[in-house]
Amino acid sequence: MAKVVVVRDLVKQYPGRRALDGITFEVEEGEIFGLIGPNGAGKTTTLRILATIIKPTSGHVEICGKDVLREGNEVRRLISYLPEEAGAYSNLSGLEYLRFMASFYYDDDEKIRCAIEDATAISGLGDRLKEKTSNYSKGMRRRLLLARTLMVKPRLAILDEPTSGLDVTHAYHLRRVIKSYSKEHGTTVLISSHNMLEVEYLCDRVALIDQGKIVETGSPEYLKSKYFS
């Protein structure tokens, strides 16, 4: 199985604090891989480095064989990133927002139309997409943002706490969409969460991270039995 993500000895040092302390892991093609740990463990820092948002202090990261430091532009063409605190433009309707975002990826009207069509199905928002996003609940906005993330068919979808703060209905919808989309399209997903039940449902493998270090990697069932029973 091809390696979509390869992380080796990754370190991120801030003044007075080491956010990442030499973490190493790999994610295989088509896999849903979870980073689970408490707030401040290093999950978001890891995802931001992979998404080329911030640079590591040291270590090596490859996505689909591309070095995130030396080949950042190529990496950005392969990934789609959903931050935990992402927002949508409040003066645009859901459809206008999707069209606007698709235009960054495609310059062909037909490809834009197909992307919006896919996003409409992914979001499950129906006619509510015609409304301004300022009228959306947090759950609706998160569904729109997940649709934006997946509509471009990335090789790697990077999702930071995608269901954090959502009610049961919206959280269930997002988890179901992520899992079914990955299996249907062969999309590799790297997801962070502090919810063991969530990663147990979604993930093929999980890395437990704490204080910037990988404590252990394994199946959700193994980690749950060892650390959460």
pLDDT tens per residue, range 188-223: 999 999 888 889 999 999 999 999 999 999 999 888
Q: Which pair of tokens denotes residue 67?
A: 């070095």
pLDDT at 229: 65
pLDDT 10s digits, 123-159 = 999 999 999 999 999 999 999 999 999 999 999 999 9
In this prediction, residues 93-114 reach a mean pLDDT of 95
Give the tokens for residue 36. 């689970």
107 has pLDDT over 80: yes
pLDDT of 165 reads 85
Residue 29 to residue 156: CA distance in whole angstroms: 9
Maximum CA extent, the chain: 52
Cβ neighbours of residue 2 under 8 Å, at least 6 residues apart?
Answer: 28, 29
Put simply, whether the predicted model's pTM sits higher than 0.75 gets the answer yes
pLDDT value of residue 197 = 83
DSSP-derived secondary structure letter, 15: T
Say yes or no to pLDDT of 101 above 90.
yes
In angstroms, the CA 188 to CA 178 distance is 10
Strands 32-36 and 188-193: parallel
* CATH class of the domain defined by 3-86+154-227: alpha beta
pLDDT of residue 164: 86
List the one residue out of 182, 176, 223 whose CA is nearest residue 201.
176
pLDDT higher for 116 or 228?
Answer: 116
Nearest CA to 118 out of 92, 95, 150, 96 is that of 150
**Cβ-proximal residues to 38 (8 Å cutoff; 6+ apart), any chain:** 194, 210
Give the mean model confidence (pLDDT) for residues 17-27: 97
Q: What does the alpha-carbon distance between residue 149 and residue 28 come to, in Å, rounded to a whole number?
A: 20
H/E element holding 90? Answer: none
Q: What is the residue extent of each domain of the chain?
A: 3-86+154-227
